Structure 1
């Protein structure tokens, strides 16, 4: 092979002169070259408002990764809202490991939800005219990541999402004891920085239409949620942030709720939880009641025993899902039946003599016409949730008003909000009053009042199941009897967290090992920092 460094090029002088002229001409023409070659009809820079719209949609649901798997099959089943006889499709009520389920939220949050969010923050940082865009994105980042830390514990926070903008593909794990103060401080900083006199996202903000005062309320309501999360591990710190949230201004009515509306059209517009529950892994109407995801006996019995008027909104027998005209009869409370948790198609015969698989059709399903509809709105934070936290804050002496008033407000908010759902009918004031009369806030000891507040939390926050799971670990309410299915991961105890994805142990090994060394074994039973 010829070594090129020894080649001698012999160009005629005329050729060299022509080449020099060409270089000069090209350099002079280059000044307008970029403009000439830019398509005026194409986007060459990110449209920040569109990025935010997409970010909201993907956080609300990206297939089953951040909906059906973590919210229903795991958290919902562990909290005995759902039950199933299929141990391979619905693992939560049996505390069984299935990597695709337990990995899903982690992978979706970092791989999908943070993508546009990180770009927005990078593009708007240190730009005074974009201060609202920047801080609303920061508030949304806290919302995305608080769900991850509440399910897994220690995790990437400070370097989360930087792979999209800074090339950091192996982010360090932060301690949850550092993550929570950082999230709370970010909410405070961003809430105070929002400026109604400057531009916002406008119509591209599908939650609040760019209204900065609403985002401020959202930030303080999220601060209230996170502050309450610290009551076991650091009551003084919890009190500080709860008081700040209340003073800053939390939700005052259902008009303040943070929601994304959906339509029963294309997949981009679906309420993904409803769409997935309607599919083959849930309760497809075509299964005629023999689908996998049934309502749990614990939940159904509670609704029936308290004469809860939300029952027909929440659940139905299968004919109502197959044919909505059957709902008046398929939602009669006395006919509802919940499936016991922790059994399969064989072991169920030990408690129900003569069981046949066709009998599954006698058990209640989630109502796919209302709370499980393709057009059901995604609720990120509700006024009902805020009022229940305020009831606890009053009980602890941290808030204004009395616990009973806040509790009653919470119940009314939950029952009155049904009108925003497809097929949701207004529960009358008389029915609400009857429920509160039959199930009054009775006071009593601190523990007795906590039990009443947070059992109501469990009943009224149905389908906000990841939050129910977090709140149960903090408060211990409602009181649930664990299952003990053979081969479960916990020795017959309700899990305290989800294990990290197996890929983290190989692709981000050093940071994964450091997190496990700090937090404890990567097990379902290891308690995270705030869950003492």
Structure 2
């Protein structure tokens, strides 16, 4: 399916030009049936929006990311929390990222190389940074994926090979470092179309270095020397406050609403999990009222993870907490990466012995920044919370892991990746996560999936490459651990 979508992605691209051409997102008002001339700024907005739209869509984030991170569990979508992967939803994730988002970014690069302008170096760098973000996501979700051959479409390459995921990581770190270092803040980049940073070159540089930290810490158990080198060389140039956050701000007005919002109808497909609610209540976390809303009896009550729709002990829906109103707001932001995540990375790096500063300080900065991100700014409230969840050096994996997991909400996929990578528990070692209450519907997985399976269409249309990739990673099942997952 990848090859077919790439072959015809030019048609998909034309349809997104109508939402991608204006100086500000609120100016987007084109008729999608009457596309205009393709220009880099149109392609950039199309790439940013299409990626965020699919990563935060109800089917993808709601039925894969959030359940696998164990933030949400299904009300009338219970099978997803029991690991029955819907092939259409899986295909939509893969196809949209490859055929629209990555294709747009590749077109920006090719256009700037074919007809260079003064801003070309910065435009190419921004496209490469976004490509690196998306490729890492795909690699973290699936394992080996098409990379070097993905956009070399010609009559001799309609079935791209899958690259080794560890090799992809090395390439992405090199690419991000080179592109960030080569950007020129004295020159413009995009004078329109960049919803993430409005063309701010220095901000894009910080994002690139921050993404290197994400790559580095994710492989810290699998390749500690490479992780240490990447993190120590780049952490001082990464994000330093919430002002640096990379997020796509939706407007709350069609067609630019957050992909999964309740502005037009109540959303009842998912409850927050008892896992999330019970833990947040146990430490009196002030973010609980943002992450979840109260049930009809004015209490917060999560549903036990993986409860089937026919479980006889299940109460009527009004007895459980739905995700918070802010999480379902039409003007919610699609998050690419934030400063709190950077601080938790640096805390973990320091705990592992890397030269990134004091682990406790970075941990406290991460918690504080997450609180402030969600509008909790009272210094006493934050200090009291930190006293309830103190940094403990000997228990760093559980302490940092649990707070990073809370801070990543509602980034379902990132929360899931970190859950499996760190394999953390509650501080002190008590179990935090649980297997699906009514059992898994995937015979290969009982506790948590480690990856998504490749598309059925890839087995049919790109069989040789699919077979090689499945064999290389140890089998195309959700139980197969990715190369960086050593816990």
What is the match of residue 339 of structure 2?
Answer: 383
Does residue 1:239 correspond to 2:196, yes or no? no
Q: By how many angstroms is 1:449 displaced?
A: 1.1
Q: Quick check: 2:75–2:317 contact (8 Å CA) kept in 1? A: no
Describe the shift of the 1:166–1:460 C-alpha distance in structure 2 as closer, same or farther (beyond 3 A): farther
Describe the shift of the 1:497–1:200 C-alpha distance in structure 2 as closer, same or farther (beyond 3 A): same
How do residues 77-96 of structure 1 correspond to structure 2 at under 5 angstroms?
A: 77-86=67-76, 89-96=77-84
How do residues 276-425 of structure 1 correspond to structure 2 at under 5 angstroms?
A: 285=266, 291-317=268-294, 330=298, 335-347=299-311, 349=312, 352=313, 355=314, 359-368=316-325, 370-419=326-375
- Residues 40-77 of structure 1 show CA distances to partners (whole Å, capped at 9, x for unaligned) of xx998521112112211111114xx7633332212211
CA RMSD of aligned residues (A): 2.2
Describe the shift of the 1:516–1:431 C-alpha distance in structure 2 as closer, same or farther (beyond 3 A): same
Pick from 431, 434, 439: which aligns with 1:481?
434
Q: How far apart are the structure 2 equivalents of 1:310 and 1:45?
A: 45
What is the match of residue 104 of structure 2?
Answer: 116
Q: How far apart are the structure 1 equivalents of 2:443 and 2:187?
A: 52
- Residues 367-394 of structure 1 show CA distances to partners (whole Å, capped at 9, x for unaligned) of 12x1221101112110000000010111
Q: How far apart are the structure 2 equivalents of 1:508 and 1:92?
A: 27
Runs of 4+ in 1 over 3 A off after TM superposition: 42-45, 165-169
Pick from 496, 502, 505: which aligns with 2:456?
502
SS at match of 1:273: coil
Describe the shift of the 1:495–1:49 C-alpha distance in structure 2 as closer, same or farther (beyond 3 A): same
How do residues 452-531 of structure 1 correspond to structure 2 at under 5 angstroms?
A: 452-478=399-425, 479-483=432-436, 485=439, 487-531=441-485
Describe the shift of the 1:409–1:439 C-alpha distance in structure 2 as closer, same or farther (beyond 3 A): same
What is the match of residue 48 of structure 1?
Answer: 40
Q: Quick check: 2:69–2:413 contact (8 Å CA) kept in 1? A: no
Q: Quick check: 2:72–2:270 contact (8 Å CA) kept in 1? A: yes
Q: How far apart are the structure 2 equivalents of 1:436 and 1:44?
A: 53
Q: How far apart are the structure 1 equivalents of 2:157 and 2:112?
A: 19
Does residue 1:148 correspond to 2:138, yes or no? yes
TM-score (norm 1): 0.79
SS at match of 1:103: helix
What is the match of residue 273 of structure 1?
Answer: 260
Q: How far apart are the structure 1 equivalents of 2:449 and 2:201?
A: 39
Moved more, 166-175 or 238-247: 166-175
Q: How far apart are the structure 2 equivalents of 1:477 and 1:104?
A: 30
Q: By how many angstroms is 1:454 displaced?
A: 0.9
SS at match of 2:260: helix
Q: Quick check: 2:371–2:377 contact (8 Å CA) kept in 1? A: yes
Q: Quick check: 2:445–2:478 contact (8 Å CA) kept in 1? A: no
- Residues 167-220 of structure 1 show CA distances to partners (whole Å, capped at 9, x for unaligned) of 943221101021110111110110111012333113421111211111110000
SS at match of 1:204: coil
Q: By how many angstroms is 1:102 displaced?
A: 2.8
SS at match of 1:83: strand
Q: Quick check: 1:228–1:389 contact (8 Å CA) kept in 2? A: yes
Describe the shift of the 1:166–1:392 C-alpha distance in structure 2 as closer, same or farther (beyond 3 A): farther
How do residues 1-40 of structure 1 correspond to structure 2 at under 5 angstroms?
A: none
Describe the shift of the 1:216–1:486 C-alpha distance in structure 2 as closer, same or farther (beyond 3 A): closer
What is the match of residue 244 of structure 2?
Answer: 256
Q: How far apart are the structure 1 equivalents of 2:147 and 2:58?
A: 24
Q: How far apart are the structure 1 equivalents of 2:295 and 2:259?
A: 20
Q: How far apart are the structure 1 equivalents of 2:156 and 2:123?
A: 23
What is the match of residue 322 of structure 1?
Answer: none
Q: How far apart are the structure 1 equivalents of 2:217 and 2:386?
A: 25
SS at match of 2:335: strand
SS at match of 2:163: coil
Describe the shift of the 1:254–1:66 C-alpha distance in structure 2 as closer, same or farther (beyond 3 A): closer
